[in-house]
Structure 1
Amino acid sequence: MKKILSFLIVLVLLVGCGKLKEEEVPVELGKKITNIDGYYSKALMEVKRGNDVKKYDLEISYSEPNYFKVKMINQDNNSTQMILKNDEGVFVITPELNKSFQFQSEWPLNTSHAYLYQSLVSDILNDENTSVVIEEDEIIIRSEVAYKTNSDLKTQKVVLDVKTLLPKEVIVYDSKMEPVITVVFIEFDLNKKFDNNYFDKELNLEAETLALGEGGDYLREVNYPNYYPEGVRIVSEQVTSDYAITCFGGDTGFTIYQQFVDDLNSSILPQFIYGEPILVNGTFGALGPTSISWYSAGSEYMIVSNNLTQDELFEVARSFTIEYGK
C-alpha cells in the first residue's frame, strides 16, 4: 500500500512539474514558431463594420524561409483572390481580371494579421503587457496589435490549444472594444508538404482563372461613398459608358475613379503598386501614401488625394455599398 501511495505522489508531482505556467507561454510560443518549417490552415473570417458583416473562407499556407499564400473566398459572391509572397515579391492575384498586382511591400510581417500564426505570435511577444490565462484546454491571450493599414484596431484576444499552442480563435477589437475581425481556425496542419510550384505566381494565376470559368456581366452603375469628411461635397463629375470620375472639394479634396472592366485593356490599376495590401469591401486592395484602390463586382476603384490621411482614405473607401448581383 505504501508503495502504491508513493507512486501516486511521484506521479502527481511529475504531472504538476510538466504543466505549462502562464508566464512561460510567450517564451514557448517563440520557440514553437521558430521551429516550424511550414504549415497549412483553413479558417473562417468575419469582418464587421456597423451592421455590415462580411464572411470569408481562408486557406493559409507557409513554407520556410519566407513563402506565404493566403487564398480568400468572399462568401457574398464566391469571388476568389490570393495574396502570394515568393522570391519574386508580393502579389495579389485577381482571377476575375486574370491579372496579378505586384506590391513594393514587406508583407506580411510588417503589420498585424489575425489569420497568420507568425503575426499573432509577434504581437504577443512585442507587447510588454500581454495577459495570459490558462484554462482547462485553452490558453487565452490578450495583447495589443499593430495594424499598419487601420490604426483603429487596438487589441486582440487569441485562443490557443493548451497542448499544441496552435490558434483556435482570434478576435480583434477597435478602440471602443467592439469586435471587428473574428477568425476561427478549423484546420491546422504542421506536416503539410508543398511541391516546388506551389508558390509560383503564374501557375497560381492560371489555375485560379481556369477554376473561375466564364465571368458574368455586371451592371454598369456609378457608386458613391456613404461617408466623406465634413465640409466636403461633389464639385464635378464625368460619366461615360466606360468610366466615372467624381471630384470632391471643399475643406479638403479627393477624386474617385471608377472603371467598368470588360477586359484587361480597360483596367486602370497599375500592375506594380507602391503600397500595402489591404482588405476593403470584401476584396484585397492596395493602400498607398496618397491613394487606395480595389476591384469589386466588375469595376475598379481608385481614390486619390493629397489631403486625406491613409485612415481617411480607408474610411471613404470602405463606406461604399457595392452590389454583387449581376
Structure 2
Amino acid sequence: MKKKGIIAAVVVLCIGVACFFAFKPKSFTKECDKIMSNLTSYTLQGEMELNKGEDIKSYLIEVNYKKAETDEYYRVSLFDKNLNQEQILLRNADGVFVITPSLNQIFKFEGEWPMNSPKPYLIQTMFEVMKSEEAVIEQNKNGAHITAPVSYPNNKNYIRQEMDFDGEAKPQAIQIFDEDNTVQLKMVFEKVEYNNDVKDDVFAAPKELDSSVASLPLAQEDLPLYPVSTYDSRLVSNNVMQVNGQTRHVLEFTGEKNFTIVETVKAASDELQTVFMPGEMIDTLDVIGFYDGASMSAYQQNVELTVFSQDLTPEEMMSVLSSMQVAVMK
C-alpha cells in the first residue's frame, strides 16, 4: 500500500508539472498584455543570423516603432556585415519605402507593410507568438522562455520559435527552427526600450544617401546567378542580350513550374532617385521583392533580378529569388 501511495504521489506530481508547463503563467502574460496596451514606441538593437544553406548571413538590426495619431510608424535597418551594406525599410505618413544606399535609390509603394505578414523582429509579432494557444511558457529566475509553433508565409521552413524574455518582458534572444530542428534564424538583442523618446524625424525618408560600399559589387563576369530553388524545373535556355544599352541574362526553366529569370547589373545613380513601385512588397527578411501580379523583382547587391511565371505563386517566386547564387549550376 505504501508503494502504491508513493506511485500515486509521483503521478500527481507529474500531472501538476505538466499542467504548469502546458498553461501560460498568468503573471508573464498579464505583463505582456499591459505592455502592449500602453505601448507608444520602442527601439530594438541586436544581431541577426540567417541560415542560407552553406552560408550564414549576419546582420546588425535596429527597429524603431512609434504610434502616431492616425497611423503607426516603423523603421527597420538591416546592415549586412559581410557586404558592409545597409538597407532600410520605412513606414511613415507618406507611405512605405525601401531605402537602398548601394544603388542610391528609394523605392516607394503603397501597402500595409510591415503588418501584412508577421515579422520576427517586431514586438507585436513576438507577443502574438507568445499568445498562441499552443505556446508553452516557462517562467524562470531571469524571466521566461517561450516555445511555440509558427507560420511565416514568406518563410515556409520556419515552423518552431523559441524566445527568451527578461523579467521586464523585454526580448533577449529568438531562435526559429525548421522541421529538421535546424536553426534557420537567430537574433540576440543588445538593447530593448519601451515607450522611449523616438523622434518623428527617425521615420523621415532621407534627402541623400551614402552609396559608398566596402565590398565589390557584382560584375558582368559574375553573371548569371542561378537559383537553388527550382521546383524540379530544369534550365533549358541561357541567353545574353542587349536591351537599351544594358546587358541582360535570360534564364528559362521548364517543368511542372515554368518560369523565366532576367538579370541585369545596375549602377548606382549619381543623384538620389525615388522610384514609385506598383504592386505589393514581399520580404523574406534579407530579400525584398516587388510583386505586380505577373512578375516579381528583387535586388541582390547591385543586380536586379526579375522572375516571370504564370505557374509560380508570389511566395514561390520569392523562394526562387531568395535562392539565387553565383555559379551554382555551372
TM-score by length of 2: 0.80
Q: Could you say what secondary structure the match of 2:154 adopts?
A: coil
TM-score by length of 1: 0.81
Counterpart of 2:111?
A: 105
Displacement after TM superposition at 1:291 (Å): 3.4
Q: Could you say what secondary structure the match of 1:153 adopts?
A: coil
Aligned partner (choices 40, 63, 73) of residue 37 of structure 1: 40
**Alpha-carbon distance change, 26 to 110 in structure 1, aligned in 2, over 3 angstroms:** farther
Work out whether residues 132 and 140 of structure 1, in 8 Å CA contact, stay in contact via their aligned partners in 2.
yes
Instruction: Measure, in 2, the Cα distance between the counterparts of 1:151 and 1:182.
Output: 16
Root mean square deviation, CA, Å: 2.6
- Matched length: 293
Counterpart of 1:306?
A: 310
Displacement after TM superposition at 1:124 (Å): 2.0
Displacement after TM superposition at 1:263 (Å): 4.3
Residue identity matched to 1:77: L
Work out whether residues 259 and 299 of structure 1, in 8 Å CA contact, stay in contact via their aligned partners in 2.
yes
Q: Does 1:145 align with 2:147?
A: no
Instruction: Measure, in 1, the Cα distance between the counterparts of 2:114 and 2:121.
Output: 11
Displacement after TM superposition at 1:175 (Å): 3.0
- Greater alpha carbon shift after TM alignment, 58-67 vs 211-220: 211-220
Q: Does 1:131 align with 2:133?
A: no
Work out whether residues 259 and 310 of structure 2, in 8 Å CA contact, stay in contact via their aligned partners in 1.
yes
Aligned partner (choices 181, 184, 187) of residue 183 of structure 1: 187
Q: Does 1:255 align with 2:260?
A: yes
Instruction: Measure, in 1, the Cα distance between the counterparts of 2:197 and 2:182.
Output: 38
Aligned partner (choices 170, 185, 203) of residue 166 of structure 1: 170
**Alpha-carbon distance change, 148 to 231 in structure 1, aligned in 2, over 3 angstroms:** closer
Counterpart of 1:230?
A: 232
Work out whether residues 297 and 305 of structure 2, in 8 Å CA contact, stay in contact via their aligned partners in 1.
yes
Written as runs of structure 1 = structure 2, the 5 A alignment for 1:1-326 is 22-65=25-68, 66-125=72-131, 127-162=132-167, 164-190=168-194, 192-203=196-207, 206=208, 209-210=209-210, 212=212, 218-220=218-220, 221-235=223-237, 237-240=239-242, 242-264=247-269, 271-279=276-284, 282-286=286-290, 290-322=294-326
**Alpha-carbon distance change, 322 to 24 in structure 1, aligned in 2, over 3 angstroms:** farther
Work out whether residues 103 and 277 of structure 1, in 8 Å CA contact, stay in contact via their aligned partners in 2.
no
Counterpart of 2:4?
A: none
Instruction: Measure, in 1, the Cα distance between the counterparts of 2:218 and 2:323.
Output: 20
**Alpha-carbon distance change, 231 to 243 in structure 1, aligned in 2, over 3 angstroms:** closer
**Alpha-carbon distance change, 270 to 191 in structure 1, aligned in 2, over 3 angstroms:** closer
Unmatched runs of 5 consecutive residues or more in structure 1: 1-20
Counterpart of 1:12?
A: none
Residue identity matched to 2:309: S
- Greater alpha carbon shift after TM alignment, 44-53 vs 69-78: 44-53
Work out whether residues 164 and 172 of structure 2, in 8 Å CA contact, stay in contact via their aligned partners in 1.
yes
Q: Could you say what secondary structure the match of 1:321 adopts?
A: strand
Deviations 1:41-86 (A, max 9, x none): 2110001132221110011111113111001100111111000011
**Alpha-carbon distance change, 303 to 160 in structure 1, aligned in 2, over 3 angstroms:** same
Unmatched runs of 5 consecutive residues or more in structure 2: 1-23
**Alpha-carbon distance change, 284 to 309 in structure 1, aligned in 2, over 3 angstroms:** closer
Work out whether residues 154 and 284 of structure 2, in 8 Å CA contact, stay in contact via their aligned partners in 1.
no
Deviations 1:151-198 (A, max 9, x none): 331221110002x10000011122333221111000112353233322
Residue identity matched to 1:253: N
What percent of counterpart residues are identical?
24
Deviations 1:4-56 (A, max 9, x none): xxxxxxxxxxxxxxxxx813322321221221221222110001132221110
- Greater alpha carbon shift after TM alignment, 192-201 vs 70-79: 192-201
Residue identity matched to 2:235: R
Instruction: Measure, in 2, the Cα distance between the counterparts of 1:322 and 1:79.
Output: 19
Residue identity matched to 1:312: E
Work out whether residues 103 and 275 of structure 1, in 8 Å CA contact, stay in contact via their aligned partners in 2.
yes
Deviations 1:218-257 (A, max 9, x none): 4213212233122433235233452212222233311111
**Alpha-carbon distance change, 73 to 263 in structure 1, aligned in 2, over 3 angstroms:** closer
Displacement after TM superposition at 1:95 (Å): 0.9
Work out whether residues 248 and 255 of structure 1, in 8 Å CA contact, stay in contact via their aligned partners in 2.
yes
Q: Could you say what secondary structure the match of 1:198 adopts?
A: helix
Instruction: Measure, in 2, the Cα distance between the counterparts of 1:171 and 1:213.
Output: 30
